[in-house]
Every structure is written in structure tokens, then in C-alpha cells.
């Protein structure tokens, strides 16, 4: 865990692969932060265990309510970086799907019709780079902005279009290229921004795997 920024109200943390965002019997990221703050750490948005990147945590219940409201109204912006199989037809685009989360299987499925438990998922993407000589075929580097925040949304929306994220075996993704030395999947929350008083706070990172998979 790396704390990129903190003040008296919140933390911005870089989450590694393999740890839960929330509490996990003393092993989750929220557990670790709570030990520094009289037992409290409010999770504002989550990342899957297999995903790395930036997460925002509140230090007080009041701040958690404020930041959560920003997230609900869309003022908390998140940008992800992903390496996916294949080359997309369009350099930029918007994907919209109806998704059903099967809790028993912890897996999300795209469906055709609205029904109980089905939620609409929308994201925007931009192709940043492509590579061919990878040992696993052509791959693409994508910048992704989720409009909605559904479980496994980015993973299943691209997998359902035959562009699964590298390393994401749950959704049919190929194995990682040789020599990467990376656990998890090649998906990271690389930037977050949100209003804070009279300014917009913005934090960004470069995932470790980016230059290894896309050196140019």
C-alpha cells in the first residue's frame, strides 16, 4: 500500500493487486488504514482484488457522506488504463450494455432485456497504443472512463466484444506476456479527480506494467 496524499479528511491510496479495497478480517486496505485513524476508514469507491490503482478513502463519516455524494452525482471522475486482446475497430467509442451480476458465481453477464437485478452499464474509451509482437497476438492499450460504476463492468463489457483484459481468466482473457512479472490483470485506475472546496483535486499514476507491455 502506498499513500499518495492525505489530509485531515481523506486519503488517496495506491492499491496493489491481491488485496481487497474494503475490510477483510484485518487484511483489507480499509483495515490497514483504519489502524492509523482510530478504527475508521470509509471506502468511497472499490477496485476488484485483481485490479490495481487509485482509491479514495474518507477519515470521518461526514467526509465519507460528502465524497460518496460526489461519486453518486458523477463529480468523482475515474480513468482506467487497460491492456486488452485484439485491436478495436474504432479509436474512440462508448459502450452500453445491460449487465446481470450472479452473486453465487461472482460473475457478471451481459443480457438482452431488462429484468430484476439487471443494471445498465456505460463507459467511454480511447485507444492509446497497440502492439503486435507480444507472443499472444495483437493487443491494445485503452484509456477508459466509466460513466456508471457496475461490478466487473469494464472487464465484462470488453470481454463480451472479444477484447478481454490480459490476465483476466474469469472473462476469457489471455495469459500475460512472458517476462511481465505482474500478478492480477492488466487493468488499473490511473487517475481520479473530484471537487474539494474551490479547487479540483487530481491524482494520477502510471501502472508498472504499461512500459513493459507497451515500451513505445
Q: Which three cell numbers, joined as nine digits, stand for 128? A: 492509446
Contacts of 149 (CB under 8 A, 6+ apart): 45, 71
Structural domains of the chain, with CATH: 1-73 (3.30.2350.10), 77-216 (3.30.2350.10)
Helix (H) or strand (E) holding 69: helix 61-73
pLDDT at 9: 97
Q: Model-level pTM greater than 0.75?
A: yes
CB 109 within 8 A of CB 102: yes
Catalytic residue numbers read: 48
CB 157 within 8 A of CB 95: yes
pLDDT at 190: 98
Report which DSSP code applies to 35. Answer: T
CB 177 within 8 A of CB 11: no
pLDDT at 42: 96
pLDDT digits (tens, 9 = 90+) for 28-65: 999 999 999 999 999 999 999 999 999 999 999 999 99
pLDDT digits (tens, 9 = 90+) for 156-214: 999 999 999 999 999 999 988 777 777 889 999 999 999 999 999 999 999 989 988 88
Helix (H) or strand (E) holding 148: none
pLDDT digits (tens, 9 = 90+) for 85-122: 999 999 999 999 999 999 889 899 999 998 888 999 99
pLDDT at 27: 85
pLDDT digits (tens, 9 = 90+) for 5-26: 999 999 999 999 999 998 888 8
Give dist(CA 54, CA 191) in Å, integer.
Answer: 7
pLDDT at 50: 93
Report which DSSP code applies to 23. Answer: -
Strand partners, 58: 10, 42
Centre a 10 Å sphere on the Cβ of residue 136 and count the other Cβ atoms it contains: 14
Helix (H) or strand (E) holding 142: strand 139-146
Out of 32-36, 71-75, 134-138, 165-169, pick the least confident: 134-138
Alpha carbons within 13 angstroms on the beta-carbon side of residue 102 total: 8
pLDDT band at residue 135 under the 50/70/90 scheme: confident
Amino acid at each position: 500500500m502506498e499513500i499518495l496524499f492525505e489530509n485531515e479528511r481523506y486519503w488517496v491510496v495506491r492499491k496493489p493487486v491481491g488485496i481487497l479495497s474494503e475490510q477483510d478480517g484485518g487484511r483489507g486496505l480499509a483495515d490497514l488504514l483504519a489502524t492509523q485513524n482510530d478504527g475508521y476508514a470509509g471506502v468511497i469507491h472499490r477496485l476488484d482484488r485483481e485490479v490495481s490503482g487509485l482509491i479514495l478513502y474518507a477519515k470521518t463519516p461526514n467526509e465519507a457522506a460528502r465524497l460518496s455524494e460526489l461519486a453518486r452525482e458523477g463529480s468523482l471522475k475515474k480513468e482506467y488504463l487497460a491492456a486488452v486482446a485484439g485491436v478495436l475497430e474504432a479509436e474512440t467509442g462508448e459502450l452500453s450494455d445491460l449487465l446481470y451480476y450472479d452473486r453465487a458465481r461472482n460473475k457478471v453477464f451481459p443480457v438482452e432485456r431488462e429484468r430484476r437485478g439487471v443494471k445498465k452499464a456505460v463507459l467511454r474509451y480511447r485507444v492509446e497504443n497497440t502492439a503486435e509482437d507480444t507472443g499472444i497476438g495483437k493487443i491494445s492499450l485503452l484509456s477508459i472512463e466509466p460513466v456508471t460504476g457496475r461490478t466487473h463492468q469494464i472487464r465484462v463489457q470488453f470481454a463480451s466484444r472479444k477484447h478481454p483484459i490480459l490476465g483476466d481468466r474469469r472473462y476469457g482473457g489471455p495469459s500475460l506476456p512472458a517476462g511481465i512479472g505482474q500478478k492480477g490483470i492488466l487493468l488499473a485506475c490511473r487517475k481520479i479527480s473530484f471537487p474539494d472546496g474551490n479547487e479540483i483535486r487530481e491524482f494520477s499514476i502510471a501502472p508498472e506494467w504499461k512500459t513493459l507491455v507497451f515500451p513505445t
